[in-house]
Amino acid sequence: MADNPFRDTGTIYLKACVNGARTPDHHPNLPVTPDQLAAEAVAVHAAGAKAVHMHPKGADGRDSLRAEEVDAAVAAVREALPGLPLGVTTGFWALPDAQQRLEAIEEWSILPDFASVNWHEPGSPEVAELLLSRGIGVEIGLFHAEAARAWAASEMTQHCMRVMIELGADGDVSRADEILGVVDGARSPAPVLLHGLDESCWPLLEHAGVRRIQARIGLEDTVCLPDGSVADGNAALVAAALELLSR
């Protein structure tokens, strides 16, 4: 698109996704505890990330939406780096009961700036409405064209703060462009972010740069640098991503 309709600023916007649904057996430096998440947020911000997305974890190392874990994680990052734009997941896998998910979010007392909502998951419109009612920004996650078309037909096109095109390891440029076309047709004022997973991570990050839209990187998306070597941690991934996007 010659006029770059998805570009919200003239500078690179890179968000760090510091852990995701992975567990420490995927990478020895994956942050899990509130203190680890706070330290990682400081590190990625110093490396150039403009915002952080994290998955608060329970004692078992798995994703949690419970207020106890979410409040502790958000509070730790807030204390370590006040003012850093900070988001969390609302992933259905973390609490696979639509009503319980709503109840858990209602109990959060230390609020993140934004939360991701995967539009294909059960109960996502209700989750988005609840987040907005609590003053939490909504990042819409679009995993495929069907979800993109459903979102494009909803009122959430005008109320979300960001639209994320989130493709799996088999994602490619053509699939990304198909979804970008649907998003463009929705005429949402929200900026768009593109990212991949594992094998698709670096090619799609590079494509985000070509399309001049937002990007993200971190141990949620890959544990490897562009050359295939295992990264020391999130800060190294952020530095590599910024070098690639600056070309």
For 210-237, the three-class secondary structure string (H helix, E strand, C coil) is HHCCEEEECCCCCCECCCCCECCCHHHH
What pLDDT, on the 0 to 100 scale, is given for residue 97? 95
C-alpha 92/C-alpha 98 separation (Å) is 8
CB 61 within 8 A of CB 23: yes
Does 96 map to a domain?
A: yes
pLDDT > 90? residue 11: no
pLDDT > 90? residue 238: yes
Tens-place pLDDT, residues 125-146: 999 999 999 999 999 999 999 9
Please count the structural domains in the chain.
1
pLDDT > 50? residue 8: no
What percent of the chain lies above the pLDDT cut of 70? 96
CB 49 within 8 A of CB 24: no
Greater confidence, 190 or 61?
Answer: 190
Angle (deg, nearest 10), helices 67-80 and 34-47: 40
What percent of the chain lies above the pLDDT cut of 90? 94
Does 160 map to a domain?
A: yes
Does 6 map to a domain?
A: no
Does 8 map to a domain?
A: no
Does 36 map to a domain?
A: yes
Q: State mean pLDDT over 149-165.
A: 98
Residue 228 is part of a domain; what is its CATH number? 3.20.20.70
Which pair of structure tokens corresponds to residue 192? Answer: 């768009």
Q: State mean pLDDT over 8-28.
A: 87
- Three-class DSSP labels, 22-36: CCCCCCCCCCCCHHH
Distance of CA 90 to the CA centre of its chain: 11
pLDDT > 90? residue 213: yes
Does 109 map to a domain?
A: yes
pLDDT > 70? residue 94: yes
Query: Average pLDDT over the chain, rounded to whole?
Result: 95
Which pair of structure tokens corresponds to residue 113? Answer: 């700036």
pLDDT > 80? residue 59: yes
- Nearest CA to 128 out of 146, 116, 120 is that of 116
Specify the residue for token string 């699939």. 175
What pLDDT, on the 0 to 100 scale, is given for residue 2? 34
Does 195 map to a domain?
A: yes
Torsion of CA 107, 113, 117, 123, to 10 degrees: 30
Tens-place pLDDT, residues 97-112: 999 999 999 999 999 9
Does 126 map to a domain?
A: yes
Q: What is the extent of the structural domain holding 81?
A: 14-245
Beta carbons within 8 Å of 243's beta carbon, 6+ residues apart: none
pTM score, two decimals? 0.94
Q: State mean pLDDT over 159-181.
A: 98
CB 219 within 8 A of CB 229: no
